[in-house]
Amino acid sequence: MEGTKKTMTKADLIDEVSRAVEMSRKDSEVIVETIFESVVKALRGADKIEIRGFGSFRTRERRSRVGRNPKTGARVDVPPKRVPYFKPSKELKDLINATPAVAPAAAKV
């Protein structure tokens, strides 16, 4: 399966939660949606979210700048904005870079 790339969707994540905790898909959907809503709410409030062993979410400030419209080449003022930023933990980096035989066992911890 090496070399094959797959995208996990929110529906896939809901199915994984449903199987892992042996509950209905509808209940699992509520759990996943609640987690996502909580993350968004915290980031909107400029809070930092830290999940030990996984990583942290925070927002970063982007300064205003002058950009270009790629179609017309016209100058465009881009206003300042906050963007979400994720920093993986050392444990997550280690799990991702572990050999395939070690990673599944370590992920169940």
Q: How many CB atoms lie within 10 A of CB 108?
A: 5
Report d(CA 72, CA 77) in Å as an integer.
Answer: 14
Report pTM.
0.71
Domains of the chain with bracketed CATH: 9-47 (no CATH), 48-109 (4.10.520.10)
DSSP 35-88: HHHHHHHHHHTT--EEETTTEEEEEEEE--EEEE-TTT--EEEEPPEEEEEEEE
pLDDT tens-digit readout, 8-36: 999 999 999 999 999 999 999 999 999 99
**Rounded mean pLDDT, 47-76:** 95
Q: Which of the four pLDDT bands, split at 50, 70 and 90, describes residue 104?
A: low
